[in-house]
Chains A and B, each alone.
Chain A
Amino acid sequence: MSQTLDPATPTAAAAATDVPKQKRPKSREGNIRTPAWLYGVMAAGLVLVVLPFVWMVVSSFKPESEVMSVPPTWWPESVTTENYSQLFSRMDFPTYFTNSAIIAVTVAAGNMVFCSMLGYALAKLEFPGKKIVFGLVLGTLMVPGVVTFIPLFVLTTNIGLANSLPGMILPFIAGPFGVFLMRQYILSLPDELIQAARVDGAGELRIFFSIILPLCWPALATLGVLTFLTSWNNFLWPLVIATSEEKYTLPVALALYAVGQNATKYGLLLAGSVVVVVPVLVVFLVLQRRIMQGVAMTGIK
């Protein structure tokens, strides 16, 4: 049915969906109408929010002399990709990019696995020590990152993980936020499902892996994306632990370059910023609905 290109079907479908579509705005507006000036205010806000990004991308294609020109040019007078090629010749951007990607993917995957496991135990199983575990996890949600960072530095250095990717991954691979998110989601799954599986003779672990986990995909995807983004943008810890250039992540390389002696090379810095920002923008735009839901979920509970 879906393969036949019957001209009647689309029109019929369109007609069918048109009815509620035309009705909806009317009932939605009700007594409270949308004032036109509100769109003006929103558009002004949009310019303020997006302009820095547009400026960043446009300026990264200007030659160094034009980047610094007074007054600034809105559009490059001579377009050049010089800044981008320098990024790869003067700095080892492919390496930083790979490091960032490995760390972010591992951290996201780890959180998805470990947090869903504990989240299920806390949501649906009874076990001695449950209250202590939950209290401990919730308690550290509010602890600022800097509190742990000096002991963590001593620890990672002493176990030989300083200046290594595992040293950047392990402290973030099992975060309390994910447990909270997964627990909240699993709580909403019906208990009858688990009871029925028990009656059918499924073991407790089997219930988790073959029944609960597949149902968790929406929450797992949200958690995965959020932890990926946080990890990609993470700065303080990689800055502390990465001591040799081949272990830098993108933000660390960019920041050290920006505060270093080469800080006047603005064209290069802007091109670097584009490389840091654009991949996450793509991930975000593709998955934005999921992210928005996840963020809203953490606020509403």
Chain B
Amino acid sequence: MSTTRTSPAPATTSPVSSPERGTPTRHVDPTRRQQAIAAWILALPFMALFLVFTAGPVLASLGMSFTDMRSTDMRNPFAVEFVGLQNYLDLLADPLFRKVTVNTALYLVLGVPLTMAVALATAVGLNRITRLKGFFRVSFYLPVVTSIVAVSVVWKFLLRDEGGLVNTVIGWFGVDGPGWLDSTTTALPTLVVMAVWRNFGTLMVIFLAALQTVPRELLEAAETDGASGWSRFRYITVPMLRPVLLFGAVITSIGYLQFFEEAFVMTKGGPLDATKSITFFTYDQWGYGNYAVGSAAAYLLFVAIMLLTWLQFRLLREKD
């Protein structure tokens, strides 16, 4: 984050209350007061909406997860009882929750490295070409701006067992493709491949912008010294990209931990819950009216995201 502070030095940030204490007012104080009033007038509309519709619900979710609230208690939230960690304990003992946790971990473990690799490779490739660069960049970004629901419908159609385009094409090479979404072993990895197809564009744009900050002279000097393409990439580009790679890993992880839409449209979470994620589980709990249980599951996911983000920052720092 930027640390450029151009406003008055910290020494002069005296408390605003100083005029009220009767001390002789300094000539800067009136504008300080005006500034504070103006700042709060500007901040208020956002903060009001934000507290009610974002920050409030985040806290309410935590509170709810320690109660026995169900949809039937909705009109009277104060009638519900405090049950401590019971919901969390129940979740940890629930085989379905264990399964969706494993599935979510699989989405993460398969999806993040694959997305990062495809995005980085494309960005490095785009950075090397001189012609049609903009055209390729825009085309690779196309899937990102489209609705997940719409592209899920298309992919579901492409991946059909009989007459699907994917199986037709691999059939030319003598491979008999399975019903990709019908088997418990292939459904989840197939959804990951589709998610990579849809999401790598964002990271590609970010990586490409970062690659342009790598000084060309450095790469050219290294080449003159006889460094191969791979070692230039490994010892110059990657270290310089480290902060951006970290950022990419964090946002991609957060995305895969919340996997939902693709599974909802393409497999309805099946076959046999093989593609259900924690978000899907929360959605189901809401449907059954188990509000407290759903909130507890969402909070466990939140904790997982926090832990993982923290871990990624730690790991990357230690490498230095």
A299 touches B279 (CB 8 A): no
Instruction: Give the shortest distance, in Å, between B165 (CB) and chain A (any CB).
Output: 6
B50 touches A137 (CB 8 A): yes
A68 surroundings in chain B (CB, below 8 A): 163
B43: which of A117, A152, A173 is its contact (CB, 8 Å)? A117
B150 touches A273 (CB 8 A): yes
Assess whether B109 is interfacial by the CB under 8 Å rule.
Answer: no
A171: which of B45, B54, B141, B282 is its contact (CB, 8 Å)? B54
Instruction: Give the shortest distance, in Å, between A190 (CB) and chain B (any CB).
Output: 8
Q: In the docked arrangement, what's the CA distance between A144 and B282, Å?
A: 12
Chain B CB within 10 A, most for which of A35, A146, A272: A146
Q: In the docked arrangement, what's the CA distance between A42 and B247, Å?
A: 25
Given known pairs A187-B2, A205-B38, A301-B1, the reply for A71 and B163 (CB within 8 Å) is: yes
Number of interface residues of A (CB under 8 A): 113
Instruction: Give the shortest distance, in Å, between B205 (CB) and chain A (any CB).
Output: 5
Within 8 A of A (CB), among B296-316: 298-299, 301-302, 305-306, 309
B170 surroundings in chain A (CB, below 8 A): none
A46: which of B139, B209, B283, B299 is its contact (CB, 8 Å)? B139
Assess whether A288 is interfacial by the CB under 8 Å rule.
Answer: yes
Assess whether B142 is interfacial by the CB under 8 Å rule.
Answer: yes
A154 surroundings in chain B (CB, below 8 A): 60, 74, 77, 291
Instruction: Give the shortest distance, in Å, between A136 (CB) and chain B (any CB).
Output: 6
Chain A, Cβ-Cβ closest to B309: A142
Given known pairs A170-B49, A187-B4, the reply for A299 and B244 (CB within 8 Å) is: yes
B282 touches A146 (CB 8 A): yes
Assess whether B175 is interfacial by the CB under 8 Å rule.
Answer: no
Assess whether B126 is interfacial by the CB under 8 Å rule.
Answer: yes
B2 touches A147 (CB 8 A): no
Within 8 A of B (CB), among A78-120: 113-115, 117-118, 120
- B-contact bits for A27-41, CB 8 A (1 contact / 0 none): 011111011001101
Q: In the docked arrangement, what's the CA distance between A200 and B54, Å?
A: 39
A42 surroundings in chain B (CB, below 8 A): 125-126, 129, 132, 136
B35 touches A34 (CB 8 A): no
Assess whether B103 is interfacial by the CB under 8 Å rule.
Answer: no
Within 8 A of A (CB), among B141-163: 141-143, 145-158, 162-163
Given known pairs A254-B153, A298-B206, the reply for A49 and B294 (CB within 8 Å) is: no
A125 surroundings in chain B (CB, below 8 A): 35-36, 38-39, 42
A254 touches B150 (CB 8 A): yes
A126 touches B136 (CB 8 A): no
Assess whether B188 is interfacial by the CB under 8 Å rule.
Answer: no
Assess whether B111 is interfacial by the CB under 8 Å rule.
Answer: no
Assess whether A70 is interfacial by the CB under 8 Å rule.
Answer: yes
A128 touches B147 (CB 8 A): no
Given known pairs A150-B64, A288-B138, A296-B209, the reply for A72 and B165 (CB within 8 Å) is: yes
Instruction: Give the shortest distance, in Å, between B176 (CB) and chain A (any CB).
Output: 14
A151: which of B31, B32, B295 is its contact (CB, 8 Å)? B295
B45 touches A114 (CB 8 A): yes
Assess whether B7 is interfacial by the CB under 8 Å rule.
Answer: yes
Chain A, Cβ-Cβ closest to B16: A128
Given known pairs A127-B39, A269-B153, A301-B1, the reply for A151 and B56 (CB within 8 Å) is: yes
Instruction: Give the shortest distance, in Å, between B246 (CB) and chain A (any CB).
Output: 11
Instruction: Give the shortest distance, in Å, between A31 (CB) and chain B (any CB).
Output: 5
B291 touches A251 (CB 8 A): no
A126 touches B206 (CB 8 A): no
A144 touches B286 (CB 8 A): no
Assess whether A16 is interfacial by the CB under 8 Å rule.
Answer: no
A72 touches B168 (CB 8 A): yes
A144: which of B46, B75, B125, B258 is its contact (CB, 8 Å)? B258
B57 touches A152 (CB 8 A): yes
Q: In the docked arrangement, what's the CA distance between A117 and B44, Å?
A: 9
Given known pairs A48-B197, A147-B302, A251-B147, the reply for A126 and B42 (CB within 8 Å) is: no
- Can you list 7 pairs linking A and B with CB atoms under 8 Å apart? A25-B130, A50-B142, A142-B305, A144-B279, A150-B286, A255-B264, A276-B147
Give 19 new A-B contacts, CB below 8 A, not counting A125-B39, A128-B15, A300-B210. Answer: A25-B130, A29-B130, A38-B125, A38-B128, A42-B125, A56-B154, A72-B165, A117-B42, A126-B32, A129-B40, A142-B306, A144-B279, A145-B258, A272-B150, A272-B153, A288-B141, A296-B208, A300-B209, A301-B1
